[in-house]
Amino acid sequence: MPDSRTTRLPLTAAQSGMWYAQRLDPDNPIYNGGQYWEIVGQFDPDVFEQAVRCVIRETDALRTRFIEDQDGVRQIVEEDPPRVVRYLDVSREPDPRAAAEEWMRADLARPVDLATASPADLSAFALIEMRPDHFLWYFRCHHIVLDGYGSALVARRVAEVHTALVQGAPVAPGDWQSLRDLVHADEEYRSSARHAQDRAYWRARLEDRPAVRSLAGRTAPMPHRLGRVTGHLTPELTARLRDMASRAAVPWPPALTAAFAAYLQNLTGGEDIVVGLPVTARVGQAARATPGMLSNVLPVRLRMSGDTTFTELLTQVSTRMRAALKHQRHRYEDMRRDLGLVGEDEQLVGPQVNIMLFGDRPSFAGVPATPHTLNLGPVRDLSAVFQDQGDGEPLRIDFEANPALYSEDELTLHRERFLSFVERLVAAGADRPLGALDAMLPGERARSLDHDADDAPVAHPDRTLVELFEEQVVRCGDRVAVCCGEESVTYAELNGRANRLARWLVGRGVGPEDVVAVCLPRSVDLVV
């Protein structure tokens, strides 16, 4: 039987989505995934290069190129394509790390022409010497060939082969399956009754979906780069959050998702929200044992109000995530098409929760490697990336976002708000209503609402916005309370609380100086 090394193979559904996204925006490098591992200790670059070349020979995805002709798009795995493992010495630079990161980011920022790219263009390896016992291993790969899970498989295998070579031990044969197996499994799924069931599940879940709620309050095209700020939950706070999850019999990933969902709902209002959940979409041995591109994004729909407790939210998130994961192979792109969402701004999710739990860090002959992310992949709105760094280490949280929607200052503010919100959430206990918590920082709401009448033109200058709002709640629960750009929210969605109005406004970057009018006699009470 011919194998993937001599045969043109179709793309998986995930690869097709990536192909068309890149071809529609050919100059956009956002689809390049990039990371590096920091290795401090005795390290032989020549042995490392041998290990990398061994893994490339084992890995179909790292030897793949793409062609497009009258028969459509196909991928070909080359037998032994020319490859170069770059070696850079920045040890004599005034700031070696800055020089190394500048080179890596420049490489990452180069777009790839998928129709003409060689395997060496689609993935790249480099070893950067900071000093004789301090190296950075840089790995860049277009997402059409490897997703995050696949990259983690490659990293662990390179470390495993390197360790064997250093120790003079035989290199155990790789047990990965071929790209043909991955493609075949994907084709079987898409022609199966299971695919039809998954499609029906998502249509039913999303037919009456709510409007996408963004912390930015607006949309923007896919960016060419992402902004990022990093924060950490202390080991003590992480342990207490884990304990709350354990008491509710809920695993760790749903607990992190629930904490972010509570934060999102607290700032945007409404009782029906959707959180994006990136997943591996790997079901079955072929998928789990083959580096490639299969990852997906699932819309996890949640209902909560001010009376919902964190225990109740934990249970709901765990249940909804478990149900969603049973249908994780149905593509996000297909969900949009099934619902007639064809415009670029017609999305199913806004902010996402990305939980990175791909196992232990790779170790090179006993020398541990510390991972550093440069770009996990495309993010249209905002992604809260949680990375467990091991026992006793702080929980890392990266807020990655579209810079057209979130400035660095805004991302920093969300980081500070979220960390403070989790502290208050844990301190309040799992059985306290979420409506009793405030995601804004101390004093922030007062600065937004407690202002002089001269700060904004209002219909009733002798009354505060809070007083006007609370009077209207009694009369007009289903009436639109606020319009911000193309978004609107009713009093009922704000749960009848003035502080919800403040959060909704501040979450969209609206301050008192931005208020245009308060029009109580009209159908819309606040226009910003």
Residues 498-523 pLDDT 10s: 566 666 666 666 655 454 444 333 33
Question: How much is the pLDDT for 217?
Answer: 84
Same domain, residue pair 198 and 269: yes
Q: Count the Cβ atoms, other than its own, within 10 Å of residue 336.
A: 17
Q: In whole angstroms, what is the distance from residue 130 CA to residue 90 CA? A: 6
Same domain, residue pair 320 and 258: yes
Same domain, residue pair 464 and 489: yes
pTM of the model as a whole: 0.83
Say if residues 291 and 314 touch (Cβ distance below 8 Å). Answer: no
Q: Which domain holds residue 519?
A: 444-527
pLDDT at 329 over 80: yes
Domain end position, chosen among 178, 209, 242: 178
Mean pLDDT within 170-196 = 93
User: For residue 453, what pLDDT band results from cuts at 50, 70 and 90?
Assistant: very low
Same domain, residue pair 171 and 50: yes
| Structural domains counted in the chain | 3
Question: How much is the pLDDT for 506?
Answer: 65
Q: Count the Cβ atoms, other than its own, within 10 Å of residue 84.
A: 10
Using CA atoms, how far residue 515 sits from 35, 453, 469, in Å, is 43, 11, 14
Amino acid, res. 190: R
Same domain, residue pair 298 and 382: yes
Same domain, residue pair 169 and 286: no
Q: In whole angstroms, what is the distance from residue 423 CA to residue 143 CA? A: 36
In a domain, 2, yes or no: no
Domain end position, chosen among 436, 467, 482: 436
CA angle, 269 as apex, 266 and 273 as ends, to 5°?
A: 95
Same domain, residue pair 222 and 277: yes
In a domain, 279, yes or no: yes
CATH number of the domain within which 103 lies: 3.30.559.10
DSSP structural state of residue 433: B
Same domain, residue pair 455 and 387: no
Same domain, residue pair 414 and 266: yes
Write the pLDDT tens digit of every residue in 233-259.
Answer: 999 999 999 999 999 999 999 999 999
Write the pLDDT tens digit of every residue in 347-401.
Answer: 999 999 999 875 667 899 999 899 999 999 899 999 999 998 776 788 999 999 9
Mean pLDDT within 22-47 = 95
Percent of the chain with pLDDT over 70: 82
